Amino acid sequence: MITLLKSATIIDASSPFHQQTKDILIVDGIIKKIDDNISKKKEYNILELDNLHVSCGWFDTSVSFGEPGYEERETIQNGLQVAAKSGFTSVAVNPNTNPVVDNKSAVEFLRNKANGFATNLFPIGTLTQQSKGEEMAELFDMQQSGAIAFGDYNKPVENDNLLKIALLYAQNFNGLVFSFAKNKKIAGEGVANEGINSTKLGLKGIPALAEELQIARDLFLLEYTGGKLHIPTISTEKSVQLIKDAKKKGLNVSCSVAIHNLVLTDDELHDFEANTKVTPPLRTQKDTKALLKGLKDGTIDIITSDHNPIDIEHKKVEFSVAKNGTIGLESAFGALNSVLDLETIIKCLSDNPKKIFDIKKTSINIDQKADLSFFNPEGNYIFSANDILSISKNSIFLNKKLKGKAYGVFNNNQLVLNL
């Protein structure tokens, strides 16, 4: 297959063509020519789109699909199509399936189901058996089968010694350990950020302390054990500072932030809309400002959609009993592009996650594999139900104003567009 991209503005700091508008010729999945004007030929598949921008493929490090066990929420096949049309060439899939991904057979199932798609699927294995937090899972076996990290999705490691042992053990094979930042005793039965809004609305609060106390513990353990620790989806100002201080000490810690925690605050709760019920909860304007600053100064490494499809039976219910989670792939770029500059977005969606998860990164250059995301950073629109491609419709960004859209991807010698 020969594909010609016309007038594409290249956003790739590692490329000699960075911030230049060029034609790009792709032959059998490899970039063969980049020039000001490449002549069209009848055998070429021509891609000409309004204000086309192209970057190295985006990698979402926290995606849930449901299959196996919760196919009514999302299937692997449809989920990977949604990811591709949303601009993602790679996704790391959480182990919160039924059964959970806690052994090599479960890892191999996911990888086999994902063969042949434009978007690559990288499984995350559980840290503990059955994700119960009691006994460590078969980490090395899962890594040998293709798992790229280990963590119990949205569940904290309550046993201090278990996390200590996991960090020590994983060093034998350079494994990456996740620790979700939530002290369950402090959080209690809370359903929203503890503050003025939760008090006004009569909702049980989750203090910022519940996250920060857990991060402080995790960092103490990491300092003792060594190893690689990833703290997913942080949400508070103090959390940013704790991780910044740890990095200054030289600890091998990375972290991510969910897009909705960058863009929205707990002011959204006033309608008791269950789609705004997420983990960690929406915080305050002060927290979102600190998170955005943490991205720009390099404290926060990764941005994720934290895409978590939930079926209508578990969302169209009273706020306090609704399941946590929002879908986020389809709205990811438009939401991010409304609060961040392109350079930071690409760095935190592509460069940093590939480095931290040890995924080979390409460059937009001649003789490199074409692993590309397409987007238009201009144009405002209201995100509506028609923009949702997922089986589940629980989007926190419904009826929100977004800026710019993803056009799709080229990866694995496949072109997938959302036009």
Residue 231, beta-bridge partner list: 255
Does 196 reside within a domain? yes
Does 228 reside within a domain? yes
Instruction: Write the pLDDT tens digit of every residue in 192-207.
Output: 999 999 999 999 999 9
Instruction: Write the pLDDT tens digit of every residue in 67-92.
Output: 999 999 999 999 999 999 999 999 99
Does 252 reside within a domain? yes
Give me the CATH number covering residue 35.
2.30.40.10
Does 190 reside within a domain? yes
Residue 100 and residue 10 in one domain? no
What residues in the chain have per-residue pLDDT under 70? none
Residue 49 and residue 99 in one domain? no
Does 133 reside within a domain? yes
Burial of 124 (0-12, 13-18, 19+ CB in 10 A): buried
Domain count, the chain: 2
**Per-residue pLDDT at 419:** 85
Dihedral over alpha carbons 364, 346, 248, 148 (to 10 degrees): -80
Give me the CATH number covering residue 72.
3.20.20.140
- Residues 6 or more apart whose Cβ sits within 8 Å of residue 233: 62, 180, 181, 256, 257, 258, 261, 279, 280, 304, 306
Residue 26 and residue 72 in one domain? no
Q: Which DSSP state fits 53?
A: E
- Residues 6 or more apart whose Cβ sits within 8 Å of residue 318: 274
Residue 338 and residue 377 in one domain? no
Residue 267 and residue 411 in one domain? no
Please identify which of the residues 266, 287, 306, 351 carries the catalytic annotation.
306
Give the pair of three-digit tokens for residue 8.
């594409």
Could you confirm whether 306 is annotated as catalytic?
Answer: yes
Residue 278 sits in which domain range?
57-356
| Residue ranges of E strands in 126-262 | 149-150, 176-178, 192-193, 205-206, 228-231, 253-258
Residue 158 and residue 129 in one domain? yes
Phi and psi at residue 98, in whole multiples of 5°? -135, 105
pTM over 0.85: yes
